[in-house]
Chains A and B, each alone.
Chain A
Amino acid sequence: MVEKNAPAVRLGRGFWIVTAVLAILAIASIVFWYVAPIYRWMHLPVAIATAKQVDQLSRFMLATGSALYIFVVGYIVYFAIAFRVRKSDPPDAIGIQIHDNHKLEFWWTVIPAAFVVLLSVLSIKIWYEITLAPSNGLVVEAIGHKWYYTFRYPQVNGEITNAMHLPIGVPVTLNLTSADVIHSFWVPAMRLKNDMVPGLVTQIHFTPTRIGTYQIICTQFCGIDHSLMHQQRFVIDSQANYQKWYHAWQVKNAKVSNALPSTSGASVNLAAGDVAAGKALFAQKCTACHAMAPFTTVKYGPGLLDVLHDPTHPNLVNGQPANPADAAAILEKGYTGTMGSMPNAVTNGLSSQDIANLVAYLNSMK
């Protein structure tokens, strides 16, 4: 057990008593973390299915972590007391001169390594379920702004809202992006967050399991009022209530979209389009989702390099022939379909002149 030439090591009775006490404390702490309603103390409900599993992982890590910590600190304190230099010791007293113990070192390498494997397996399993994309369900877009969130239901004609409602029990895919700087979308009750990065669409998937109103918090510094970006809430509702809300909202938005010009290109004077202004506007408004690259270069929407001059794509995504007037129509009314969805001109903040400029720019790119 001990290396040759090293003094014999004899662990005294005190050591084993302390070890037993620490073991009892460690077991107590494991039990504590498994039975304690810690998230009730934390005022955090469990809003989605995977949140429970994250809590299970947290309990596992808190339990094993605190057991380990109790042993390390317990031994440090015990050694500090038991092996302190005493008044009776001669001034040149030395400790027991052992250099190492291969058996001990072997075990305290192997046991943590095994623990690491176990923790990896547990984490990967839960990670897999968190990132698993549902094959169907509701798709909602969340957009971070300074300093609030907006939401868009692609099916509702591209309108935005500040209040997200979700039905219980239906899988949700949330597409996250940002209109300005990096924000973060954190719902503590979901134990889930992701950054909202401008120019990038990231996704989170979850299935709501509890009716209630939940806080959304931004955890990436996003400017002077970042501190206030925790006041917005969203609602998880029963399916019936959700349908009621959804219809009411649809009706309201139908009026809004009817107020938009109905004939394509009618209200837009395409001849007045300015290529340079369109280019600047494109960089500012469109590049989050579209690349100035061939059609197949999909960022979020398709590439728009030769959208009006591509012989392999004679039609636009809405099935209309690729001409400036139809491009203007898409810019005005937005689009929802197989290629995803794009907000309308009101949401994007585009005036008629802006549309004309953009179309002129797109038309100039071949």
Chain B
Amino acid sequence: MAVASITQGGHDSHGEIDQLYIETRELRLQGFLLFLVSDCVLFSSFIFAYLYLRNSGQGWPPAGINRLDVAFAAVNSVVLFGSGATMHYALENWKHGNFMKFAWMLIFTIVLGVGFLCGQGYEYTNLIFHDHVSWWGSGIFGASFFTLTGMHGFHVFVGVCYLTVLLLQSAGGVYTKDKYFGLTAGTLYWHFVDVIWVVLFSIFYLL
């Protein structure tokens, strides 16, 4: 078998593993994308629920609830989108072999991600203790807002943990210049979280 593969591909003696890596990466990439698709459906269902309830003829925002603070959320969004950009550059740097720059960019991304979570925490605190809006006690407003942004926040949190793991792994030499599927997946996931936030920001703060 080894003979066959050498004569066919003309690879060096590691050719077999490389072909295996290439095929495995393809599978994992596709699997990961499909996972993101089904995750997207989860968000879409809740977004549908939110829009449905919002348009069920009770007026929006419901009585007794103030409009959300767009300015603060906009700043917070910029933080998250900024982290998307740094993540993009982190991966580009890795591909070009600038490992130190990669590490810094990834650290920026993680810091910005944590910053976004803190901002969201601040917003939640404000809503809960100042405006007395709660998840369960404020009708469909509290239900849809906290459920959707909470789900997104949880995704950001998972993303931050994942990126931290990737940082440690890359420092520990798990990835090479040519074999870095974990980093690709992390980047995809982080961009996915960004895109979801674009939608959530539009429908909760701008609409």
Contact = CB atoms under 8 A, between A and B. Distances in A.
- Do A and B share a direct contact in the complex (Cβ within 8 angstroms)? yes
Interface of A: 291-294, 297-299, 303, 305, 365
B57 A305 contact: no
B64 interface: yes
A294 B61 CA distance: 11
B7 interface: no
Interface string B62-88: 111000000000000000000000000
7 contacts: A291-B58, A292-B62, A292-B63, A294-B59, A299-B57, A299-B58, A305-B63
Contacts of A365: 63-64
Nearest to A199: B56
For the residues of B in contact with A, the DSSP-based class is: loop
Nearest to A298: B57
Contacts of B63: 291-293, 305, 365
Nearest to B63: A292
A292 B58 CA distance: 7
Contacts of B57: 291, 297-299
Nearest to A296: B59
For the residues of A in contact with B, the DSSP-based class is: loop
A299 B58 CA distance: 7
A277 to B, nearest CB: 16
Contacts of A297: 57-59
Contacts of A303: 59
Interface string B160-201: 000000000000000000000000000000000000000000
B66 to A, nearest CB: 14
Interface of B: 57-59, 62-64
A203 B58 CA distance: 20
Contacts of B64: 292, 365
Contacts of A305: 59, 63
A303 B63 CA distance: 10
Contacts of A292: 58, 62-64
B161 to A, nearest CB: 40
B85 to A, nearest CB: 41
A348 to B, nearest CB: 21
A307 to B, nearest CB: 11
* Interchain residue pairs A-B with the least CB separation, the first 8: A293-B59, A292-B63, A291-B58, A297-B59, A305-B63, A293-B58, A299-B57, A293-B63
A303 B57 CA distance: 10
A365 B62 CA distance: 12
B56 to A, nearest CB: 9
A298 B59 CA distance: 10
Nearest to B59: A293
A297 B61 CA distance: 12
A291 B58 CA distance: 5
A300 to B, nearest CB: 10
Contacts of A294: 59
B71 to A, nearest CB: 26
A293 B58 CA distance: 6
Contacts of B62: 292-293
Nearest to B61: A293
A50 B64 CA distance: 47
A297 B60 CA distance: 10
B51 to A, nearest CB: 17
A298 B57 CA distance: 7
A284 to B, nearest CB: 14
B24 to A, nearest CB: 38
Given A297-B57, A297-B58, 20 more contacts: A291-B57, A291-B58, A291-B59, A292-B58, A292-B62, A292-B63, A292-B64, A293-B58, A293-B59, A293-B63, A294-B59, A297-B59, A298-B57, A299-B57, A299-B58, A303-B59, A305-B59, A305-B63, A365-B63, A365-B64
A77 to B, nearest CB: 44
A24 to B, nearest CB: 52
Nearest to A294: B59
B53 to A, nearest CB: 12
Most A C-beta atoms less than 10 A away, residue of B57, B62, B63: B63
Nearest to A297: B59
A303 B58 CA distance: 8
A275 B173 CA distance: 65
Contacts of B58: 291-293, 297, 299
Nearest to B57: A299
B59 to A, nearest CB: 3
B88 to A, nearest CB: 44
Contacts of A298: 57
A297 B62 CA distance: 11
Contacts of B59: 291, 293-294, 297, 303, 305
A303 B59 CA distance: 9
Nearest to A293: B59
B55 to A, nearest CB: 11
Nearest to A306: B63
A363 to B, nearest CB: 14
A357 to B, nearest CB: 17
Nearest to A290: B58
A173 B58 CA distance: 25
